[in-house]
Amino acid sequence: MEQQDSEHTPGPLDGVKVLDLSRFIAGPLCAQILGDFGAEVVKIERPSGEDSRHHGPYWQGESIYMFLYHRNKQAATLDTRHPRAKAILEDLVRWADVVVENFRPGTLEKMGLGYERMKEINESVVLVSISGFGQTGPESPRALFDAISQASSGLMSMTGDPDGRPTLSGTYIADYTTGYQGAIGAMAALTHRERTGEGQLVDIASYDTMFSALGTRLIAELMLGLEMPRSGSRDLLTAPVNVYEAADGPIYIQAGTASLFPKLCSVMGREELSADPRYATVEGRMADQAALESAIQQWAEGLTREEIARRLDAAGVPYANVASVREVAASPQLAARGMIVEAEHPSLGTIRMPNNPIHMEKSPPTVRKAPPQAGEDNDYVYGSILGLNAEQIRQLRAEGVI
């Protein structure tokens, strides 16, 4: 278990200032990644807190949803509909190197703070605009959440059993992937700015992101006009690969290649299968994979997963127990990799969360600040960053601006 770093080596983005105007997952994750690598991130949300703060379950009265996407941020509140809010936002844009937002396209313009206005305020600003369908195109105005992205992009049609209904992924895969792409775009734009002095608009669409991740099925359609059906837990291109029920639970075995299939047959004591000319090629095994899977299932069900693992390890056949979230959270491998990190919050106590998965020797990501509560850092943001005095900040609170 890794602890929050109170003293840390400056990250590669140390000195970069990020204004996070985003909500939910993709935008906040993008800004958090920048923060993990050393950027100073100011998160702006409405005085009651963004919608995500009101989604259970809760820990110490705070939504655990917020623990995932908001560490390494200074949290300030602002009623963006208040007449005084625009001037404050403009001051924050002047301060920022990067602005991250994920409003529906056109919303910033209605607020009088679109990219063209931002450039007037800060000509070198990088604006990362994350949206459902992008800033252009006929679908651009539509609202989108993760599940809509999975459905519209083709991902849902690929997920699930061949004879069943299309299935939603078990996590917010579209939002996560889009957040990662937003962070990549921001860092690339910062590199361009360092070389040229130019800021730019980084336009990231969840729809585009998921389309780009469709893999082999997409190329099969583009190049061959071939629509490949859902394959459930089978591999799309090799066999035998599937989930099997051992005596004490499910285990996934991947033995679809020319080198792995004979090894599995040997472990099973079924060398005649690998010697069968019908199974000498991937195509042959794919054509008769139901029979092969039946043989593997008969072997697996008489053994525990530990017994299967020991035999497959010795033979070099890839496998994995189908782990629950509880099991994987206790994984010694993840512990060895420091993938669960703890941070101390002044009022919430110890917060446990997944660490940044990028491991770097010279400039690793760090957790320097626990996910904050709404408005926790108002005095710092409006005082230290914008230079307002205590009376001015008190007046903003009194008027309901912050």
Give the residue numbers annotated as catalytic, written as ranges.
175
What distances in angstroms separate CA 365 from CA 8, 9, 65, 349, one per listed residue?
10, 10, 21, 22
Other CB atoms within 10 A of residue 37 CB: 22
Helix axes 260-268, 289-300, angle to 10 degrees: 40
Amino acid (1-letter code) at residue 290:
A
CA distance 292 to 285: 8
Contact 268, 298 (CB under 8 A): no
318 near 254, Cβ under 8 Å?
yes
> What is the rounded distance in angstroms from the CA atom of residue 155 to the CA atom of residue 152?
8
Q: Which of 291, 288, 303, 292 is nearest to 245 (CA)?
A: 303
Is 266:296 a contact under the CB 8 Å cutoff? Answer: no
